[in-house]
Structure formats: structure tokens, C-alpha cells
Amino acid sequence: MNRIASLTAASPKRVLPGFGLSLGVTLLFISLVLLLPLTSLVGQLSGLSLAEYWAIITEGRVVASYLVTIGAAAVAALFNALFGLLMAWVLVRYEFPGKRLLDALMDLPFALPTAVAGITLATLYSSNGWMGQLLAPLGFEVAYTWVGIALAMGFTSIPFVVRTVQPVLEDMPGEVDEAALTLGASDAMAFRRVILPHLWPALVTGTGLAFVRSLGEFGAVIFIAGNMPYETEITSLMIFVKLQEYDYVGASAIASVVLAVSLLLLLVLNLWQGRFIRRLHGGKG
Amino acid sequence: MSIRLENVAKTFGRNTALEPLVLDIAEGELVGLLGPSGSGKTTLLRIIAGLEQADSGTIRFGDRDVTRMHVRDRRIGFVFQHYALFRHMSVFDNVAFGLTALPRRTRPSSGDIRARVHRLLEMVRLEEFANRYPAQLSGGQQQRVSLARALALKPDVLLLDEPFGALDAKVRQDLRRWLRHLHDELNFTSVFVTHDQEEALELSDRVVVMSNGRIEQIDDPDTLYRQPANRFVFEFLGDVNRLEGTIRNGTLTCGDARLSVDLDDGPHELLLRPHELKLSESASNHAHLPVTVTAVSPVGAEVRVELEADWLAEPWMATVRHADFERLTIKRGQRLFVTPRRWHRFEDSAAHRSRASLIS
Amino acid sequence: MQRIGDSPRVRRVLVGLAIFFSALFLLLPLVAIFAQAFAEGLEMFWANLSDEYTLAAIGLTLFVAALTIPVNLVFGVFLAWLVTRFAFPGRRLLQTLIDIPFAVSPVVAGLVYLLLYGRNGWIGGWLDSHDIQIMFAWPGIVLVTIFVTCPFVARELIPLMQAQGAREEEAAVTLGASGWTVFRRVTLPNIKWALLYGVILTNARAVGEFGAVSVVSGSIRGETNTLPLHVELLYQDYNTVGAFTAAALLALIALFTLAAKAFLEWRATRRENAA
């Protein structure tokens, strides 16, 4: 409390009340709920030597799970980049019956519990499900393959790209379109050279968020994944399996990798975005 | 390239934006579309550009009928009010955009493009900013980039939508003069939209005054100012003082104010420009208009004096030369007499007849 | 007005594609949930719903949400007030920290709580010796749910309060209002709809959390089984209809959330247009 008091005292010019109280509550909450649990991961790992740690996180089955997870997440993110761009464009630029409903539907994956999404997709795409029956004769197997994993990851992260690109497209003045057209550009050229670069920061951010979310996805994936070691086992499941076997150290080691990668990606995304935005909104360089 | 509009009309839903109108613009002319907001001037400009489709009528550039032609094929240059620069592109890339967007067979080599863009940037005096981004430029600089971009394709027609509207007064002045020079040098046909009468009168060869989707008058600035076709044009082109009263036997009376005028008996309204009012310490034979000075603001070449009187519904504005101002030692609260040098009168009927009279 | 891509052909193709893919990836799963739940008729649906363990799972889930929401509501409001009404070093860092739960895999979230409060954990050991059980019991479920859902209220409030600025509150202070009065009479009326949506989102996520909860719950039927865990259990037991009955309940909550969002957005645009 001393620190809070000194902070309050150091800035006598604050007009609004409640600085000390809200700072105190916030710091207490963040320390207890967010930071303290994360430090326990460090505590758990501090008992390991570097070699032991390295051995756990580079074990064959674990490495295979990284590859499956990253590969499927990349496919899912790429799909979402295209689908999200299409949806954002259609929802902002065109008027058609049912538009509001379609707009509302975009948020379904965030609102629907992941386990529900998981069993639904697994049922739909299993060999006797509605979609599975259609795809099986064509030789496509989705359930219990990495395609199914990508599908589940793609589903749960649909809103990211749509909802980051949509507002940017909405705020884009109509004059930008018109300027490109008066200069003789074709639709395709104007989209590629004028509109896409305009949306680029939002598109990359949305895709990046979708990718990070997919890396950590668990509930939606495990039902459709098949969970075969080396083939359709995702890293989140590896951690879960280790926990079931009471191998807390192993679980922690792998979790630390997942956590580090996610946080690093978010950091890179933030820094990149900051640089891009500085250029568009002034500042030198 | 000349521009010829015939019976061009436009409605937005139930609102009439343009009533059928005819407009001829000669090759090399610089024409201003002047009017208050909602007068249809911007719609007219956008129809010429092809950014809006007219409901009826034909548009010709020279002997080309462009009525149904897409904006990208009309060979126009368009300068937007808020510049509409591509903010993710450098100044160079913005200006080069139109050239690089040409189909491959007509596109100049990249060396030619580079040379042409640099020439354009030189012309708008922005050579050293080629690698900057729009956000790093001032408003005036951005508008010059926008102009260079519009001129890069050597358009038949240059269209400017309130080109200086978003800039501050000093920059506007400079850019205006500079655009006039540029126009005289390159001699393209230009049409620009403005709501600022000073800008329209200063810049244009001819001014098209518009209101409520109609063209009120088309004339060169001098004729427009001296012989306004109707009351709207007269009032829109400058400040107006009103004098309402009853005329009997050649004398208009309004309270204790009197003015000799050569008009029929009955109620009348006369309009007077601020610079047409002479201030003096005594009344003259034919004008007895006593007023009190309520405010004085010495701006620019003239002094603006606000005048009030019992017989006036709203205050008058007079502009006097500094010499007269000093001679009369005008102060707030001072009582003076107005002698109009000239007055104007418009019939209320649609005939738009006007009458102006010189006094003494 | 001429815009890019407004030719009827381009427009028809793009709208068609958008509707087709949305139907395939979003609408079809939604329909499938209810189709499966009612696959054996309404009676079976009711029978599944009134199953003892399903009712217990519903009860626990509501209980967890009821504890989570007020905690995160209070925290979210304090955080939003702090970062939008005061400038201080570390403000950006705070805003970044609050996003951690979005970036952390739910399994990892469950794991770190397990490490902390589990029998071998730093705090868990001490708790265990005092016979207080947090892991594999409802307190553990509540804790991880709070972790997972803590950003939602703040996330809804911060952009709004930033956009609104502090002028109105400052005016209230100059008129002599106390802190609580300022909040209740000036701030709250301005943010109440965003606050409500934050709560609805928190609720949706709290009710539906699976990964983190499955790590710390132990899935004891009738005791530590939340509704999403119950869905999994029934599904693994090959009781598909039962699983989808529980899933349909959760899907209804999701639909309610979407409807609430659509309504609040519609309301906001209507007010904007009126202004």
C-alpha cells in the first residue's frame, strides 16, 4: 500500500477520484489471478536441468505434435484470412436480404462452447455424418485426420479476421475507391493495389490472432482429431495426457513452450502493427 | 477539350438534385461552380466525372459522347476535397499510380514513368518529398500531390471538388493563385466546385451560380458581380444591406429615414452593398439616413463598420477606406449619416428583372 | 456513386460465396446440434434433460457463472476506470497483461492453477494440510473460470470509455460530486450497455469453458461435472443424443448472446442516427 500511496501523492493534479483504489484492486487481481499462477510454472520447471528440459520438449512424439498443431493452425489461419476478408467485404460493401443475420452468425464460434463445436463437427464429418457421407465417396476423409483438426481450428477462429477487417473497411472513405477509378484502374487492380494494402495491417493482425488461438485450441479439436500419437495428436492434448499420467513436470515443460510461442507471436504482432500504423498516421521515417 | 451538357438531370430518391440543365464549357476554360451546400454543384461535377450517373441528358467531351462511359475511361483528372491520397503509398507512388495502372501495351517504360512523375513533382514544387508518405505532409502539400496525381495521365478535363475547402485561409490564397498560373500554362479545361464566392470570382474565367439544383446565372466574374440576374445571385455574391419602406412622390420613408428614389408609389425593398454606402457627418439633400456606429473592425484594405438605427430591422455593414475612416474619426457610439452611392432592386416575380440605380 | 466491385456480376458471385460458406461452416453445425438433440423425439429430449446428472451439471455450471460474473465485473470496471481516466507509467503494460488469458491455451491455464493449488503446489500443500481442497472441486473450477473470462468486461468498457473521455466526470467533480456519486450518476449511465454486453460475454464463456475446467475438475459425475464436461462424458459414452441435448442447452445460451449483441448494436446505430 505504500507504493500506491506514494503514486497518488506524486501526482496531486489528478482531478477524478479513485486512482488509488482502482490501482490497488487491479494490481491485486492481476497478481493473484494472472501472474501468481504463471510463476508456478517457472517454479515447477526450476527443478529441471537444461538438458532434461530439452529432452522433454524435443521428444519425438512431442515434436510430431508441434508439427501437427502448427501445420493445422497455419491452414486454418490461411483459410480464415480468405474467408474473413470475403465476409468483411460482403458485409460492409453490399446490401442484401439476411445481411444482419449473417453478420450476427459470424460471432457464433466465440459464443458457442468449444466442446459443443467439437462434438458437432465430429458428428457432422464422421463417415456417417451429413458431411462425411457426402465427402467419403469423393475420397475425402475429414474426421480423425489433420484436415479435421484444421477444420475445428478454423471454425473456432472465424470471427478474428472478420471482426478486425470489418471496422477498417467501414472507416475507409469512398473517395479512396473513386480516386483509384478516376485514375483509370480496373476493379481488380484497384483492389490489389489500393484496398488490400489499406486493409493489410488489420488482415495480418486478425490472421495472427486466429493462428495463436488455433495453436492453443483444445475442446473443439480433440473430438474430431482422432488423437493418434505422431499423426493427429495436438500439443494441447499432449499436455493433457501428461497431466492424466501425473507427469506434471513434462506437462509444464511442454506448456512453457506453447506459452512462450503464443506470447512471442502476440508481441511480434503488436510491434509490427505499431510500426505500420506509425507510418500511416505520421511520424518520421 | 470542350464539355457540353444537355438536359442533364438527377434525382436521389425523392429529392431533385439537378433540374434539367444545359451547360457549355469551352476548351481551355476554367469554370467555377458556385452555390450554397445542397445546390447541386458537387452532383453536377460528379456527373461530369462519371462518379454519378445522370438520370437523363447527354454529356459530350469534344465530339466524344461520354454519357454512358465508365469513369475510368473518361480521361478525366479528379481532385478530391479531402485529397483522397493513398496513405500506404509514397508521394512518388501516388503520382505514378495512374501511369502504372495503364494496360501493359500503353504503359510507358518505368524510366519514362519515373521521369514524368519527377517532372510533375517539380511542377507542384514537391520534388524533395517524393519518398515521404501522405501523413508526413501538410494539407496544402497533400492537395498539391493530389493535383499532380490527377494531371499525370494528361487528362482531357480536370475536375476539382472544393479543392481548397479543407485548408486555412493563407494556404488557400497561395494555392488559388498557383492553380490559376498552372491552368494558364498548361491550358487544360477545368471545372471546380466551391461555396466561396471570393474564390469563384478570383479564379474563374466564367462562374456558374447554382441553387436548388438549378443554374441561376453563367457569366464572367465582372458581369456576374455588376449585373446579377436575380436576387439570389446578388445576395450570394456578397454582403447585402436591406432598406424597406414606403414610397410616395419619389421619396422612400422608413421611420425618420428618408431617401429620394425614382420609383412608383407603394412599399419597396432596396438592397445595398456595404461598399456602396458613404458615411458622412451630415445628411444630404436626397438622403436622410441617421445611424449609430456599433462596431468597427479594421481588416485588410478596408474598415468594416457596423451600423444600427431605430428604423433598421437588422444592422447594416459599411466598408470604408482607411483614409475616410481617419478623416471621420469613426468611433463606436458615433452618430453618422449614410448616403447610398447606388442601390439595387429585384422584382419578386419569377421574371427575375433587376434594376440598379446610381444616385447623384 | 461508383465503388470498386459494385458491378452486379461481381456482387452476386461474392454474396453467393459468402452465404454458401457461412451456411456450410456456421449454420450447418448449428442446425446439426438441434437436429441431433431431437433425433429421438421431444420426449427423449426431456428425459435426457431431466437426467439427475445433467441437472447437477446445469446447477454447477450456473453456480460457477454466478460466482465468476460479479468478480470479473468489479475487476473490469476498476481496470477500465484506471486505464481510461488516469495517465501513469505502466498503463500500456497493464492493458497488455489483461490480454494474457486470450493468448494462453485453456489447457495451459488449467495446468498453472493445478500446479499452484494442487497437492504438490506452493499454496496447495499448505491448503491440503488444513484440509481445504481447491483442485478437483468447485473452487478450482471457479478460479480457472475467473482466469479465462477476466478480460471480457474490461475489453468492452475500455474502448468506449476512452472514446467518451473524462469531461463529463470532471464536470461532475467540479460540481462537488463524490467519487461514488460520479460513478453512479455520470459514468454508469454512459457505459451500462457495454457493461451488460461484457457480462453476457463473460457468462457465455464461463458457462462454456472446457479445456481449463477439464484439467482442474476431475470430472466427478454429479459433483464436479460442469455442462461442457458432461457433454464430453456423454459423448464418450456413445450417448450421442444425450450429449447433444446438453449441447443444445449451451447452444441456446450462445444464440442468446448473439441476439443480445445484435440488439445492442442495433440500438447503438439507431441512437447514432438519431443524434
Looking at the fold, whether C123 and C231 belong to one and the same domain comes out as: yes
Single out the residue of A187, A217, B148, A26 nearest to residue C78, CA to CA. Answer: A26
pLDDT in tens, C40-92: 999 999 999 999 999 999 999 999 999 999 999 999 999 999 999 998 998 88
Q: Which three cell numbers stand for residue C236?
A: 464418450
**Looking at the structure, do residues C12 and C147 belong to the same domain, yes or no?**
no
Measured between alpha carbons, how far is C94 from B355 in angstroms, rounded to an integer? 74
- The complex scores an ipTM of 0.92
A181 in contact with chain B, both atoms CB, cutoff 8 A: yes
B164 and B113 in contact (C-beta within 8 Å)? no
Shared domain check, C19 and C69: no
State what percent of residues in chain C have pLDDT above 70: 100
Does residue A210 contact residue A159 with C-beta atoms inside 8 Å? no
Range of the domain at A174: 48-280
Nearest CA to B225 among B236, B216, B211? B236
Closest Cα in chain C to B54: C1
**Residue B47: closest CA among chain C residues belongs to which residue?**
C1
Count of domains in chain C?
2
Which H/E stretch holds residue B121?
helix B110-123
What is the C-alpha separation between B206 and B25, in angstroms, rounded? 9
Tens-digit pLDDT profile for residues A215-255: 999 999 999 998 899 999 999 999 999 999 999 999 999 99
- Domains, chain B, in order of start with CATH, read 3-236 (3.40.50.300), 241-340 (2.40.50.100)
Q: What does the alpha-carbon distance between residue B125 and residue C237 come to, in Å, rounded to a whole number? A: 78
pLDDT digits (tens, 9 = 90+) for B128-155: 999 999 999 999 999 999 999 999 998 9
Determine, yes or no, domain membership for A24: no
Distance CA B207, CA C170 (A): 51
Quick one: pLDDT at residue A94? 95
Domain that holds residue C120: 40-274
Question: How distant is the Cα of A157 from the closest Cα of chain B, in angstroms?
Answer: 28
Q: Which of residues 93-122 of C touch B (CB under 8 A)?
A: none
Do the domain assignments include residue A215?
Answer: yes
* Burial of A197 (C-beta count, 10 Å sphere; 0-12/13-18/19+): middle
Question: What pLDDT is attached to residue B323?
Answer: 87
User: Which residue do the cell numbers 482422432 mark?
Assistant: A226
In this complex, how many residue pairs, one in chain A and one in chain C, have their CB atoms less than 8 Å apart?
280
For residues C183 and C244, membership in a common domain is answered with yes
CATH of the domain at A240: 1.10.3720.10
Is residue A282 within 8 angstroms of chain B, CB to CB? Answer: yes
Are C3 and A21 within 8 A, CB to CB?
A: no
Per residue in A135-176, pLDDT tens? Answer: 988 888 899 999 999 999 999 999 999 999 999 999 998 899
pLDDT for residue A13: 55
Q: Are residues C143 and C105 in the same domain?
A: yes
Q: Are residues C207 and C252 in the same domain?
A: yes
Residues with Cβ < 8 Å from B133, sequence gap 6 or more? A279, A280, B87, B88, B89, B90, B91
Any domain includes A1: no
Same domain, C22 and C153: no
Round the average pLDDT of chain A to a whole number and report it. Answer: 90
Residue of chain C whose alpha carbon sits nearest to that of A259: C104
- C125 and C10, same domain (yes or no): no
**What confidence score (pLDDT) does residue A3 get?**
45
Q: Does the beta carbon of C237 lie under 8 angstroms from any beta carbon of chain A?
A: no
pLDDT band for C111, please (50, 70, 90 cuts). very high
Whether the CB-CB separation of B209 and B233 falls below 8 Å is answered with yes
Q: Which of B324, B5, B25 is nearest to B190 (CA)?
A: B25
Looking at the structure, tell me whether residues C156 and C177 fall in a common domain: yes
Q: What share of chain B is helix, strand, coil (3-state, %, to 5)?
A: 30, 35, 35
Question: Which cell numbers hold the place of A233?
Answer: 495428436
- Element holding C243 (H helix, E strand): helix C240-274
Q: Are B320 and B279 in contact (CB under 8 A)?
A: yes
Which of C77, C78, C108, C187 best tests the A interface by mutation, with the highest count of A CBs <10 A? Answer: C108
Q: Which of A6-20, A97-111, A185-199, C217-231 has the lowest mean pLDDT?
A: A6-20
Q: Name the residue among B85, B89, B153 with its Cβ closest to that of A184.
A: B153
DSSP state of C133: -
Domain membership flag for residue A81 = yes
- The three-class DSSP label of residue B46 is helix
How many whole angstroms separate alpha carbon C247 and alpha carbon C237? Answer: 15
Residue A109 within any structural domain of the chain: yes
φ, ψ (nearest 5 deg) of residue B206: -135, 150
Assigned domain for A78 exists: yes
Residues (pLDDT < 50) of chain B are 349-353, 360
User: Is the CB of A273 inside 8 Å of chain C's CB atoms?
Assistant: no
Together in a domain, C28 and C119: no
State the total domains in chain A.
1
Cβ atoms of C14 and B64 closer than 8 Å: no
Residues 198-257 of A with CB under 8 A from B: 198, 200
In chain B, what residues touch C1 (CB-CB under 8 Å)? 51-52
> Chains meeting B at 3+ CB pairs closer than 8 A?
A, C
Contact C251 A116 (CB under 8 A): yes
Question: Which member of B88, B101, B133 has the closest CB to residue A185?
Answer: B101
Contacts of B149 in chain A (CB under 8 A): 179, 183
Mark whether C70 and C113 lie in a shared domain.
Answer: yes
- Min mean pLDDT across A182-186, B171-175, C233-237 is at B171-175
Same domain membership, residue C137 and residue C260: yes
Which subunits count as partners of chain C given 3+ CB pairs below 8 Å? A, B
The residue of C3, C13, C22, C168 whose CB has the most chain A CBs within 10 angstroms, and thus the best one to mutate to test that interface, is C22
Q: How far is CA B178 from the centre of its chain?
A: 17
Residue A25 lies inside a defined structural domain of this protein: no
